[in-house]
């Protein structure tokens, strides 16, 4: 595990955003389950859990800007490229299978879950090709 100052800042941001995500998700689920929310407010509350996720994507971008170690930065860039390729490919395949009625519908936010999984795939690729799992 590489521990540059930028990586430590990134970890803190992701930790806080993850906690915020859990809080907002549980609040939204509670609100909808108990029918406490309706009308335009429902749209705002439904979007709330997405904001920390977008924040995490932003934190990755900020990490890439702040990281001073160019090799470590390259490892993360490779990981994000793998994540993007993996998630977009998975979404495209799933989309066609769904369009032809071969599989069931999946919520759109699974794309970002596939993207985060793709970061792990990218880390494995880094380990196998460069001998360095990176961040």
Partner 1 sequence: MRNRLKVLRAERDWSQGDLAERIEVSRQSVNAIETGKYDPSLPLAFRIAKLFGLTVEDIFPQD
- By CB under 8 A, name the binding residues for partner 1: 2, 4, 68-72, 74, 130-132
- Geometric angle at alpha carbon 10, from 83 and 79, rounded to 5°: 20
The residue among 87, 71, 94, 70 whose CA lies nearest residue 122 is: 87
Q: For residues 28 and 25, what is the distance between their CA atoms, to the nearest angstrom?
A: 5
Name which of 74 and 90 has its Cβ closer to partner 1: 74
Least CB distance from residue 88 to partner 1, whole Å? 27
Instruction: Count Cβ atoms below 10 Å from residue 111 Cβ, excluding itself.
Output: 14
Name which of 5 and 61 has its Cβ closer to partner 1: 5
Least CB distance from residue 70 to partner 1, whole Å? 6
Least CB distance from residue 135 to partner 1, whole Å? 11
């Amino acid at each position: 595990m590489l521990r540059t100052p930028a990586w430590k800042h990134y970890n803190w941001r992701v930790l806080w955003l993850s906690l915020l995500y859990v809080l907002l998700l549980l609040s939204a689920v509670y609100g909808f389950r108990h029918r406490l929310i309706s009308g335009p407010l429902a749209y705002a509350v439904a979007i709330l859990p997405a904001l920390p996720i977008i924040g995490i994507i932003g934190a990755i971008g900020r990490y890439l800007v702040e990281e001073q170690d160019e090799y470590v930065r390259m490892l993360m860039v490779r990981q994000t490229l793998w994540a993007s390729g993996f998630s977009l490919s998975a979404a495209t395949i799933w989309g066609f299978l769904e369009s032809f009625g071969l599989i069931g519908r999946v919520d759109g936010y699974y794309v970002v879950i596939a993207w985060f999984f793709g970061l792990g795939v990218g880390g494995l690729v880094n380990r196998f090709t460069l001998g360095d799992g990176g961040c």
